[in-house]
Amino acid sequence: MANRYINIPDEELLVIYNSGRDNELLGVLLQRYTLLLLGVAMKYLKDKDEAQDAVQQVFLKAITHLPQGEIQNFKGWLYVLMRNHCLQLLRDKHYLTEDSVLANLKNVETDKEELIWKDATLEQMNDAIGKLDEEQKKSVTMFYLEGLSYKQITEQTGYSFEQVKSYIQNGKRMLKQILTKGK
């Protein structure tokens, strides 16, 4: 039965849906944009399972919160609904993370030996990074310490994407070799 609605534009399907509240029509509309919603969810949540769950939750929201009035752009409305849902999930996760950090703060060891060991490890890492080729040093520092993406590194350094990837991979391998020789 859904096949007969394939060529009907979103706006017409919404009018038909609003006149009879047939959930099959809404299902047809939602099915049209499943991949879009999944893509939006992946962009924000960066996890396939979480993204799939979010799509299902947005489907439910769409069914229960679809405005009675006319929606000019269903695809845009659905996109905004998904984006806002993902942002809310991220905010909730962020607050949970902060709470768990505060709860575990009591468990942080301030043992003097532990701090000395960490400081020595940081010094070894800095020394090891200093032994890398200039391109590797710059790429590794920008990627791991400054948190820049490959694209941002290519823009700032003028290196190609392949060069940045190679510098980071080879730099990481060299760091491992340098640090394991010292032990």
Residue 148 CA, chain-centre distance (Å), reads 15
* Domain shared by 7 and 81, yes or no: yes
Range picked from 77-86, 90-99, 104-113, 118-127 for highest mean pLDDT? 77-86
CA angle 25/28/33 to nearest 5° reads 135
Mean per-residue pLDDT, 81-110: 68
What is the predicted pLDDT for the residue at 165?
A: 92
Of 78, 102, 126, at which residue does a domain stop? 102
* Domain shared by 75 and 23, yes or no: yes
* Domain shared by 39 and 60, yes or no: yes
Question: Based on the number of CB atoms within 10 Å of its own CB, is 89 exposed (0-12), middle (13-18) or buried (19 or more)?
Answer: middle
Which two structure tokens, joined as six digits, stand for 95? 């607050």
**For the chain, what is the mean pLDDT?**
79
**Of 141, 132, 162, whose CA–CA distance to 154 is shortest?**
162
CA dist 31 and 64 (Å) reads 16
For residues 75 and 34, the answer to whether their CB atoms sit within 8 Å is no
Mean per-residue pLDDT, 31-42: 88
91 pLDDT tier (thresholds 50, 70, 90):
confident
* Domain shared by 67 and 146, yes or no: no
0.75 surpassed by pTM: no
Q: What's the number of domains the chain is made of?
A: 2
**Parent domain of 119:** 109-181
- Range of weakest confidence among 10-19, 46-55, 100-109: 100-109
Of 59, 81, 102, at which residue does a domain stop? 102
